[in-house]
């Protein structure tokens, strides 16, 4: 088979944008300011059941890993078991780091004095940076090692079906929160490929919703080019 689909890079671009933005917020946050710190800690949750926002960033990381584990990795393991086993182990390590980061954020919020919170904020930044380094390296591995093997063994319809399964499992608010990061992070060719795939196989309401989100979030000149290429 000679598939061309890439189930990883487009969503990873959105996750990288989340990481860059969250890292900037962490290093500029005044941990003496309780309301600002509380808003930041909201995005350090790992579980949507406890988070107060569909855009909770570490929740997105956890959900993304879970979807890979259940939808993409099992069929991939049939031909690349050692790689998938290694990537799964990295997922477990990333989850451990995410949980520890969220827990420490709540502990920081409970500290009684501003100086104590500021001092703890230094450690929170360090923990976050360690997580981000590991997460970025993990995504690079998936793209450089697993994507080529997926293309060798799965045709585009099979990979598009996997993407459809993942999309169908997302509650709409979480899906559009993720797409709100992902779509502006993609170049014109990647956006064109994604929209072309959706145009071929996705329900029309989903195609329209994604197109509307691109209209709102993607730079005008880039979106106009994509619309011309895809024929929207």
Q: Can you give the residue ranges of every domain in the chain? A: 9-171, 186-232
Output the pLDDT for position 4: 87
Asked whether the beta carbons of 153 and 79 are under 8 A apart, the reply is yes
Share of the chain above pLDDT 70, in %: 97
What is the spatial distance between Cα 14 and Cα 116, in angstroms, rounded to a whole number?
A: 34
Mean pLDDT along residues 52-68:
85
**Number of helical (H) and strand (E) elements in the chain, helices listed first:** 12, 0
- Nearest of 51, 75, 80 to residue 63 by alpha carbon: 51
| Model-wide pTM > 0.85 | yes
If one compares 178 and 115, the residue with the highest pLDDT of the two is 115
* Among the listed residues 209, 178, 166, 217, the one whose alpha carbon sits nearest the alpha carbon of residue 232: 209
Instruction: Give the pLDDT score at 52.
Output: 67
The residue to which tokens 């045709």 are assigned: 155
Give me the residue label for tokens 């088979």: 1
Residue 157 makes CB contacts below 8 A (sequence gap 6+) with none
CB atoms inside a 10 Å sphere around CB 54: 17
Predicted confidence (pLDDT) per residue in 91-107, tens digit: 999 999 999 999 999 99
Over residues 124-152, mean pLDDT: 96
Fold classification of 9-171 is: 1.20.120
The angle formed by the CA atoms of residues 184, 13 and 55, to the nearest 5 degrees, is: 70
Q: What is the pLDDT of residue 32?
A: 95
What is the pLDDT averaged over residues 136-151? 96
Q: Answer with the residue of higher pLDDT: 75 or 175.
A: 75
CA angle 160, 55, 201 (to 5 degrees): 20
Has residue 2 got a pLDDT over 90? no
Instruction: Say whether pLDDT at 33 is over 60.
Output: yes
Please give the Cα distance from 232 to 228 (Å, whole number): 7
Distance in Å from the first CA to the final CA of the chain:
29
3-state secondary structure of 76: helix
Q: What is the mean pLDDT of residues 131-150?
A: 96
Residue of higher predicted confidence among 55 and 88: 88
Average pLDDT of the chain is: 91
């Amino acid at each position: 088979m000679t598939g061309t689909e890439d189930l990883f890079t487009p969503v990873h671009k959105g996750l990288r944008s989340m990481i860059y933005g969250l890292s900037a917020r962490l290093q500029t946050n005044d941990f003496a300011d309780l309301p600002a710190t509380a808003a930041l800690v909201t995005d350090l949750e790992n579980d949507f059941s406890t988070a107060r926002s569909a855009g909770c960033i570490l929740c997105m990381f956890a959900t993304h890993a879970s979807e890979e584990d259940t939808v993409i990795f099992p069929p991939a393991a049939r031909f690349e078991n050692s790689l998938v086993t290694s990537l799964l182990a990295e997922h477990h390590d990333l989850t451990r780091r995410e949980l520890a980061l969220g827990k420490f954020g709540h502990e920081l919020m409970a500290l009684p004095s501003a100086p104590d919170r500021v001092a703890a904020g230094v450690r929170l930044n360090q923990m976050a940076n360690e997580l981000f380094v590991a997460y970025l390296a993990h995504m690079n591995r998936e793209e450089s090692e697993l994507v080529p093997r997926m293309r060798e063994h799965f045709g585009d319809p099979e990979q598009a079906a996997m993407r459809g399964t993942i999309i169908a499992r997302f509650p709409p608010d979480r899906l559009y929160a993720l797409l709100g990061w992902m779509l502006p992070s993609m170049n014109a060719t990647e956006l064109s490929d994604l929209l072309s795939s959706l145009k071929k196989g996705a329900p029309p309401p989903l195609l329209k919703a994604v197109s509307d989100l691109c209209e709102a979030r993607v730079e005008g000149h880039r979106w106009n080019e994509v619309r011309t290429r895809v024929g929207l």
